[in-house]
Amino acid sequence: MNIGLFLAAAVIAGTPLLFATLGGILNEKVGHLNLGVEGMMLMGAIIGFMLGFKTDNAFIALAGAMAAGALGALIYAVLTISFHANQVVTGLALTIFGTGFSSFLGQSMVGQIVSNKLKASFAPVRVPLLADIPVIGEAVFNQSSFVYLGYVSAIILFIYFAYTQWGLNARMVGENPAAADAAGIAVNLYKYTHIVIGGAFCGLGGAFLPLVYVPAWQDGITAGRGWIAVALIIFIGWNPMKAILGGVLFGGLDILGLRLQGAGVHINQYFVDMVPYIVTILVLVIGGFHKGSKASPPKALGNAYFREER
């Protein structure tokens, strides 16, 4: 098995996870546990695929995917922020809704393949110099521009949360909304914008699958990647930079079974499918022993915030 080729495949498999993880981080940083990642990915996937299929325009496809994911997130945001609905239940409902939404719209699309013109829009672009780095160069820097968008988003989000005033305000909302409110931060505005933009990221992650990865439509195309993303957020400790590595790692685990079989190693496919989840559980268990480390979840994660409470 060629390490370089495997790594390149892992980067591609990890890209939808990367986008979904970034989307989830945006939700959780402002204190909202959104289990609707899978649903928002599917909504983005079907809308992105349909628009791409109809128009052959990559830009329209991606914009549509983002809008669809954002719409799903907006439903979640209205229910959990303005109506104080339970975040877990709302998130699960969003996943169920997104699954049905994509199945319904995608009924007549099943098996349809992306046109060559659109495929060409997502063809690998070689980054000069960087792609010449041994072993990882080709894998990381000879990829579709869609993949690069993932790296760039992760870096921008990292800088945003670590060094900007708005990022600091957003983190304060997720840590202690009452304190943020007292400090003059518009708590609900921050929550809405971050959750909706997070939804757009999830939509992009979903759209990557039928547009680049497969590239064709199949029902339930995300196949649980949204759930892996939810676990991945914890694994990488809410750090957008680490999301790049986490995506590649879990993407690699995702394709490991197929590659091993291709290399003539006989291992039970079902066992291989379990590996990402087992790794997640192990990480959570190990993480449980290191309390008080920097990578702890936002304090107010999962709690609704009411101002006029006596």
Partner 1 sequence: MNQTVAVELKGITKTFGTVVANEKVNLTVQKGEIHALLGENGAGKSTLVNMLSGLYSPDGGYIYIRGKRVQLTSPKQAIEYGIGMVHQHFKLVESFTAKENIIAGKRDTWFTTHKHIEDKILSLCEKYDLKVELSKRVEDMSVGEKQMLEIIKVLYQGADILILDEPTAVLTPQEVERLFNIIRKMKEQDCAVILITHKLHEVMAICDKVSVLRRGENVATVKIAETTPTQLVELMVGRPTDLAIQNYKVAFGEPIYKVNNLTVKDKENVSVLDQVSFVMNTGEILGVAGVAGSGQKELCEALCGTSKISSGELIFKEQHLEGKSPREIYNRGIHIGFVPEDRLGMGLVGNMGIVDNLLLKEYYIQQGLLVNRKGLKDKANNLIHTLEVKTPGIDHPVKQLSGGNIQKVLIGRELALSPDVLVTSYPVRGLDIGAAYQIYDLLNKEKQKGVSILFVGEDLDVLMQISDRILVLCDGKVTGLVNAREITKEALGLMMAGHVQEEGGDYSGNKSYKNA
By CB under 8 A, tell whether 25 contacts partner 1: no
By CB under 8 A, tell whether 54 contacts partner 1: no
By CB under 8 A, tell whether 304 contacts partner 1: no
By CB under 8 A, tell whether 178 contacts partner 1: yes
Q: What is the CA radius of gyration of the chain?
A: 19
By CB under 8 A, tell whether 185 contacts partner 1: yes
| Bridge partner list, 126 | 142
Among 109, 136, 149, 168, binds partner 1 (CB under 8 A): 168
Q: In a 3-state reduction of DSSP, which class is residue 144?
A: strand
Q: How far is the CB of 281 from partner 1 (least distance, A)?
A: 23
By CB under 8 A, tell whether 290 contacts partner 1: no
Q: How far is the CB of 307 from partner 1 (least distance, A)?
A: 6
| Bridge partner list, 125 | 143
98 dihedral zone (left: phi>0; alpha: psi -120 to 50; beta) = alpha
Among 172, 231, 243, 253, binds partner 1 (CB under 8 A): 172
- Token couple for 188: 């609900």
By CB under 8 A, tell whether 193 contacts partner 1: no
DSSP string computed for 186-210: -HHHHHHHHHHHHHHHHHHHHHHII
By CB under 8 A, tell whether 307 contacts partner 1: yes
Kindly tell me the burial class for residue 59, based on how many C-beta atoms sit within 10 Å of its own C-beta (0-12, 13-18, 19 or more). Answer: exposed
Q: Binding residues for partner 1, per CB under 8 A?
A: 163-165, 168-169, 171-172, 175-176, 178-186, 296, 299, 307-308, 310
